[in-house]
Amino acid sequence: MRRRLLLITAASLSLTAAAVAPAAANAATSCRPPTVTAPAGAVVESVRATADAGGTVTVPDQTPLPTPPPIADVPAWCDITVVLAHPGAADHVTVKVSLPSDPARWNGRLQAVGGSAYLAGNLDGAELVTAVKSGYAATATDAGVGDNPLDTTWAIQPGGSLNDGLLTNFASRSVHEMAVVAKDVTRAFYGRAANRAYFNGCSTGGRQGYQEAQSWPDDFDGILAAAPAINWDRFAVATLWPQVVFHEERVAPTACELKAFNAAATAACDTSDGVRDGIIDDPRTCSWDPRALAGTTVRCDGVTRTITRAEAEAVRRIWQGPPSWYGPNRGADVTTFLAVPGQPFFVADLWAKYFVTRDAAFDTTRLTVKDFTRLYAASRRQFHRVIGSDDPDLRAFRDSGGKLLSWHGQYDELVPTEGTVDYRRRVERLFGGGERVDGFYRLFLLPGVAHCGGGPGGQPVDPLGALVDWVERGHAPAALATVSAGGVTRNVARYPMR
């Protein structure tokens, strides 16, 4: 699959090993299993230690995720792998903690990394290795649901009922327990506790970060949550909406035709910010109507095609979103995953099959609006309390001194940007205004940036470093630095500033 499936992997990890005084010892610590105290409600099944010499690390292939390039100059490290279980849940949850072997290479911090799609955390991917290279003790968990982001067979028990224990792990419990275990292991390994603990994730990982702030406000000093898949019970059904539209409008537009609508919208709204750069800076200000393209022709693979009224209406409805939620912004490239006729977005398709209906044969390509409305309501009814991850009450997180830095690309093609804006507005209403929220929670909307990165816009530059600076030096970021593929730099102001 194309590189943009990296879209749902954890947010890119900062290589900035910023200065926190490292442990005084210079000799490598011993890589051996420590005594680990089980988190409340769990038992420790096993603890093992594995030493790695470092150097250039090749990450194993994890199809369908893209294989990252080898990671050079990684210091020697020790992997401590802890397996937890919950009595009565019949689960086996793996937590891995990767620690620089030389205490002098440790920056005194712990970094937890999040997951992607239905992967709670990538135990064998680049995220942990990159964090170790940056000087962090790093940790991830599989939540007991395995290592395949597209495998949801764990959700249904042999008798056909929902596996509530594993869903609870995936939704919230395992990230909290990972924090508890990783802090314990880090303290045992270095002989002192980490000075600060951070969480870093995108998409599913972003949702995990928000869930931590809502439910376990003392786990992390700082949370970097990008393109957060919060409002999961809504988002995971709402992203089936293009299939509903294609079915009802009886159209199957090609990727080329769909891109023609984006090109026309960009031409109409590009300069709304006073700059012609091929990007709709703030799609919320773009009201170009796709029905204006009906009757015009486009060249696709050497063939001239005429845009029909039904195709134009389908694009209008997709951008508008379902009656109950938001659609993608104008400019977002929906042609790879979200709006492929007959090929529903896999996260939504699997959610409908294995969680909401618990029917692996359920066909999400032939939904009517009535069918969709029932499915959406069923998801909300069954799962909002479990995995909605949208509680605006962040008072305990604020009172703990935590900082939440979040960014979302305006061209996100999978998780609607406006869903995150909706959440931020709800937090502001609870706290009595944006100024009262900015002290602990800041959101940045990045023009032209796709899901978790990519797209024509400027990509974020070291957002983790900005979070560290905020937590440890009190420098609240007024803007987030970005750089385009062509080297154009820009500081994007925090929401709602422009």
Query: Which positions are annotated as active-site residues?
Result: 203, 412, 451
Q: Which residue has the tokens 């275990």?
A: 181
Residues 441, 406: contact at Cβ < 8 Å?
yes
Residues 6+ positions from 79 with CB-CB distance below 8 Å: 49, 50, 51, 52, 96, 97, 98, 99
CA 93 distance to own-chain centroid: 21
Residues 204, 229: contact at Cβ < 8 Å?
yes
CA–CA dist 323, 325 (Å, integer): 6
Start-to-end CA distance of the chain, whole Å, equals 35
Cα–Cα distances (Å) from 160 to 92, 155, 156, 157, 357, in that order, read 20, 9, 6, 5, 10
CA–CA dist 237, 249 (Å, integer): 19
Three-state DSSP class for 7?
helix
Q: Which residue has the tokens 């009802």?
A: 248
Cα–Cα distances (Å) from 270 to 120, 263, 275, 495, in that order, read 38, 10, 7, 20
Of the candidates 206, 197, 185, the one whose C-alpha atom is nearest the C-alpha of residue 111 is 197
Query: Phi-psi region for residue 66, left (φ > 0), alpha (ψ -120 to 50) or beta?
Result: beta
